[in-house]
Amino acid sequence: MGSVHFENTAAIGHAWILSSPVPEEALHRAQEIAAGAVCLAGHDVPCGNCRGCRKAAAGVHPDIIRVCRETDRSGKLRREITVGQIRDVAADAAVLPNESERKVYIIEEAETMNLNAQNAALKLLEEPPKTVIFLLCTVNPDLLLETVRSRCLSVSVSSGSTETSGDGEKRAEGFLKAMRSGEAEAVWRWIAKNETNKLDETASFVEAALQGTVDMLCGRADPGRLTPDRLMQLERLLEQCTEYLKVNVNAKHVFSLLAVHAPADESQPRRMGETS
């Protein structure tokens, strides 16, 4: 993933959505943009050498604020970013930067903002302070309100490596081949051999498998022994897996879900944890 540079801090837009199936990639890009916003060089920012850039790299710059899910009293991470957190951001955004021309808020896992939080964020994005930049990091921008997305510059962040994507496509080909055979044992054998505990690889596989299923539904690929009803069931199941991955469910659980439901002829896949 190449580094980013801007002519000056004023050239950095006030709101960005940075999306990647690998959360660390989106966060890394956000940190680069934030460094550019607090760079003191004046041009071709971030320079990487000034006091602002060094503080940004060390994670101690007072004008770069990270917003993420909080923990509850037991120390467990909450499911959502709350409206209270975004209201705190709004109040703080009205205060001028400490050391730089711009103040940056990096909202991690922006898709976890609940509806009220997103609406509060929307008000900020509609009338942002001139000295503030918002960087929304997400694995899936479609979970953000369209009104939020329309007010941000959307960038898909990628490392440029095709290894994970290619591996996901190969996994999807093998899985769909087993599904097309119509044999439950073939699906179970494939899952036992190919399941992984890596979220990024699993997300790549599920995305490719979903696209392959859609291609079969639309007549662009041979469905084998899969009937239109079974294809619709498979599509819903893969969409369900996608939803789980958005909230960082353990990748093994996704493959367990496939093992239980993919070979079965059901009108609707059961939710994880449900029993028949």
Query: pLDDT over 70 for what percent of the chain?
Result: 89
User: Shortest CA distance to 111 belongs to which of 247, 3, 208?
Assistant: 247
User: Shortest CA distance to 103 belongs to which of 145, 131, 141, 137?
Assistant: 131
216's CB contacts (< 8 A; 6+ apart) are: 176, 222, 223, 226, 231
Q: What are the φ and ψ backbone dihedral angles of 120, each rounded to 5 degrees?
A: -65, -40
206's CB contacts (< 8 A; 6+ apart) are: 168, 238, 241, 242, 245, 254
- Predicted confidence band of residue 273 (pLDDT cuts 50, 70, 90): very low
Separation of alpha carbons 209 and 92, rounded Å: 44
- Residue 9: what pLDDT? 87
User: Shortest CA distance to 81 belongs to which of 34, 10, 148, 11?
Assistant: 148
- Domain covering 9-156 assigned CATH 3.40.50.300 in the classification: yes
Across residues 243-262, what is the average pLDDT? 82
pLDDT tens for 13-43 read 899 999 998 899 999 999 999 999 999 998 8
Q: Where in the chain is the domain with CATH 3.40.50.300?
A: 9-156
The position carrying tokens 């084998």 is 224
Note the pTM of the prediction, 2 decimals. 0.59
Tokens at residue 258, please?
A: 């496939």
Q: pLDDT at residue 57 above 50?
A: yes
Separation of alpha carbons 57 and 52, rounded Å: 9
List of E strands, 73-222: 103-107, 132-138, 153-156
pLDDT tens for 207-230 read 889 989 988 888 888 999 999 999
